[in-house]
Amino acid sequence: MDNIKRGQHKASFLNGILKENPLLIQVLGLCPALAVTKSLETAFGMGLLFTFVLVSSNVIVSLLRKLIPEEIRTPCYIVVIATFVTIVKMFAEAFLPELYSSLGVFLSLLVVNCIVLGRAEAFAGQNGVFDSFLDGVGNGIGYTWAISLMGIIREVFGLGTLTIGKVFNFFGEPIKLPILKFVEVTFDAATETYERTVHYDFSISIFQNPAGAFIVLGLMLAIMAAITNHKKAVEKAKEKEAKLAAAAAKAAEQAKLAGGAN
Amino acid sequence: MNKYFKVSLTLATIASGAALLIGLMNLATVGAIKTNKENKIKSGISKLYPNVKDYVAHDFHTFDEEGYDANYSLPEYPHLKTAYVVNIEGGTSPGYVYSTTGKNAYGQVDLLLSIKEGKIEKMFVVTNTESYGPTLEENYIDLYNYGLLEHGLEDVQCGATYGAKTVKEQCDDALAHWNANFGKEAE
Amino acid sequence: MEMIISYILAIVSYMLIDNVVLSRFYGICSFIGVGNKVKSAFSMGLAVTFVIMMATLVCYPLYFFVLVPAGIPFLDTLVYILVIASLVQIVGLFIKKNSPTLYKTLGIYLPLITTNCAVLGVVQTNSDASLDFLTSLANGLGTSIGFLVVIVLFACMRERMNGYNIPKAMKGVPIALITAALMALAFMGFGGMVG
Enter the ipTM. Answer: 0.91
Number of domains chain C contains: 1
Instruction: Tell me which residue in A27, A112, A229 faces C169 most closely, judged by beta carbons.
Output: A229
Pairing mode, strands A175-178 and A161-164: antiparallel
Instruction: Tell me which residue in C23, C75, C194 faces B19 most closely, judged by beta carbons.
Output: C75
CB-CB neighbors (< 8 A) of A72 in chain B: 7, 10-11
Whether residue A76 and residue B159 make contact (CB cut-off 8 A), yes or no, is no
CA distance C39 to B43: 55
Tell me if A214 is assigned to some domain: yes
Tell me which of A159, A192, A223 is where a domain ends.
A159
CA distance B173 to B77: 6
Q: What is the mean pLDDT of chain A?
A: 90
Instruction: Name the phi and psi angles at A148, rounded to 5.
Output: -65, -40
> Nearest-CA distance from B25 to chain A in Å?
6
Tell me if B137 is assigned to some domain: yes
Residue A145: which domain range?
Answer: 2-159
Q: Exposure of C33 by Cβ count < 10 A (0-12 exposed, 13-18 middle, 19+ buried)?
A: middle
Whether residue B36 and residue A101 make contact (CB cut-off 8 A), yes or no, is no
Whether residue C74 and residue B22 make contact (CB cut-off 8 A), yes or no, is yes
Residue B182 has pLDDT above 90, yes or no: no
The arithmetic mean of pLDDT across residues B146-162, rounded, is: 76
Tell me if B91 is assigned to some domain: yes
CA distance C37 to A34: 24
Label residue A173 by pLDDT band (50, 70, 90): confident
CA distance A84 to A82: 6
Tell me if A99 is assigned to some domain: yes
Q: Are A62 and A126 within one domain?
A: yes
Q: Are A16 and A136 within one domain?
A: yes
Tell me if A73 is assigned to some domain: yes
Number of domains chain A contains: 2
If you write DSSP's letter for every residue of C52-77 in order, what string do you get? HHHHHHHHHHHIIIIITTTT-GGGHH
Whether residue C78 and residue B18 make contact (CB cut-off 8 A), yes or no, is yes
Tell me which of A159, A176, A200 is where a domain ends.
A159
Residue B69 has pLDDT above 70, yes or no: no
Whether residue B162 and residue C191 make contact (CB cut-off 8 A), yes or no, is yes
Tell me if B28 is assigned to some domain: no
pLDDT 10s digit of each residue in chain C, 195 long?
788 888 888 888 888 888 888 888 988 888 887 767 888 888 888 888 988 999 999 999 999 999 989 888 888 999 999 899 888 888 888 888 887 887 877 667 777 788 888 999 999 988 887 788 888 999 999 999 999 999 999 999 988 888 888 899 998 889 999 999 999 999 888 876 765
Residue C183: which domain range?
Answer: 17-188
For residues A169 and A42, the answer to whether their CB atoms sit within 8 Å is: no
Q: Are A151 and A241 within one domain?
A: no
For residues C130 and C44, the answer to whether their CB atoms sit within 8 Å is: no
CB-CB neighbors (< 8 A) of A87 in chain B: 21-22, 25
Tell me if A188 is assigned to some domain: no
CA distance A151 to A174: 17
Q: Are A239 and A125 within one domain?
A: no
CA distance A197 to A211: 30
Q: Are A35 and A151 within one domain?
A: yes
Tell me if A55 is assigned to some domain: yes
For residues C32 and B120, the answer to whether their CB atoms sit within 8 Å is: no
Q: What is the mean pLDDT of chain B?
A: 80
Whether residue C77 and residue A111 make contact (CB cut-off 8 A), yes or no, is yes
B54: contact with A, CB 8 A cutoff: no
Residue B85 has pLDDT above 50, yes or no: yes
Tell me if A242 is assigned to some domain: yes
Tell me if B135 is assigned to some domain: yes
DSSP A120: I
Number of domains chain B contains: 1
A23: contact with C, CB 8 A cutoff: no
> Nearest-CA distance from C85 to chain A in Å?
7
Residue B186 has pLDDT above 60, yes or no: no
Label residue B156 by pLDDT band (50, 70, 90): low
Mutation choice for B interface testing from C6, C13, C18, C76 by most B CBs within 10 A: C18
Tell me if B46 is assigned to some domain: no
Q: Exposure of C136 by Cβ count < 10 A (0-12 exposed, 13-18 middle, 19+ buried)?
A: buried
Tell me if A203 is assigned to some domain: no
Tell me if C8 is assigned to some domain: no
Residue B73 has pLDDT above 50, yes or no: no
Render the burial of A78-109: b for 16+ CB within 10 Å, e for the rest: bbbbbbbbbbbbbbbbbebbbbbbbbbbbbbb
Whether residue B105 and residue C13 make contact (CB cut-off 8 A), yes or no, is yes
Tell me if C27 is assigned to some domain: yes
Q: Are A120 and A214 within one domain?
A: no
Residue B170: which domain range?
Answer: 51-186
pLDDT at residue B65 in the model = 45
Tell me if A225 is assigned to some domain: yes
> Nearest-CA distance from C183 to chain A in Å?
8
Tell me if C195 is assigned to some domain: no
